Amino acid sequence: MARPLRLHVPGMLHHLMSRGNDKREMFIDDVDYRKYLHLLQHSAARFGVEVVAFCLMPNHVHLFVKPNLHPLSRMMQHLNSAYCGWFNRRHGRVGHVLQGRYKSQIVERGSSALRVLRYILLNPVAARKVAHPAEWPWSSYRNTIGPAGGGATFLALAEVWRIFDSTSIENANHAFKAFIDQGISPEDALDGLLVGSEGFVRSFEPMLAAYRGDRELVHAERFAARPSIDEVIPDRTPGPDRDRAAHRAFHTYAFTLREIAEYVQASPSAVWVWTRRAAHAA
């Protein structure tokens, strides 16, 4: 199975997700939840990671964080290893607690960050655990609306408050609650390595180019910032320019022969001939 791609981008918001192995519970009782949060606080402080929001569900975890000097993989390895070892000892279990590597998304500030934040905090509502996020004790919702963060000193709540109102925490809290109360929209659950505007996604093309040839990494993540096929093949007129563009679409940006064929309205075998012709002419 291909491995998820890990990018270290200091100062940018990241949405991290860990799941229980075979969808089994990661948390059995309140002691488990509290232990995880204690370890999260310790690991985040050790590796200089700011925790903006979190939501712990029985069989999975969402973290919204901002790394700095150290790659997030170091914090997550430290956190997950410590928790899983403790969990197995406490409950007399052996084997994997978590299902493989954690998933990571890099999120643009602004509206994209707000949608991801809302998606995270409304997880318990979507799972029908509670009717309102304030009723779920294992997320950062209560901390965010409480006075000065409700005592959760390890949360970087200024990152949330300044999106809504940088001059008043009280006003920011009201705006935050109103935004969450709107409920999840179809746009909130965004997939992919990069979550944001087209310009934000495309800005990662130089960074991702170095990983294109690594087939051990997830294909969709290696090519997450690639241009659209109409940009790679701007002219479908038969000729050398079209052949070279088809070659570039196939070999550089990993569009399939079928995808190219559907765009240029030709057969996959014809596209293959064009790419070979362009290669021989180079």
**pLDDT value for 148:** 46
**pLDDT value for 150:** 47
- pTM for this model (two decimals): 0.85
- Ranges of residues in the chain with a pLDDT under 50 are 148-151
**pLDDT value for 169:** 80
Please give the mean pLDDT across all residues of the chain.
Answer: 88
Tell me, letter by letter, the H, E, C secondary structure of the chain: CCECCCCCCCCCEEEEEEEEHHHCCCCCCHHHHHHHHHHHHHHHHHCCCEEEEEEEECCEEEEEEECCCCCHHHHHHHHHHHHHHHHHHHHCCCCCCECCCCEEEEECCCHHHHHHHHHHHCHHHHCCCCCCHHHCCCECHHHHHCHHHHHCCCECCHHHHHHHCCCCHHHHHHHHHHHHHCCCCCCCCCCCCEECCHHHHHCCHHHHHCCCCCCCECHHHHCCCCCCHHHHCCCCCCCHHHHHHHHHHHHCCCCCHHHHHHHHCCCHHHHHHHHHHHHHHC
**pLDDT value for 242:** 92
**pLDDT value for 199:** 92
Q: Is the domain defined by 13-181 classed in CATH 3.30.70.1290?
A: yes
The per-residue pLDDT for range 92-144, each reduced to its tens digit, is 888 888 887 889 999 999 889 999 999 999 999 999 999 999 999 999 998 88
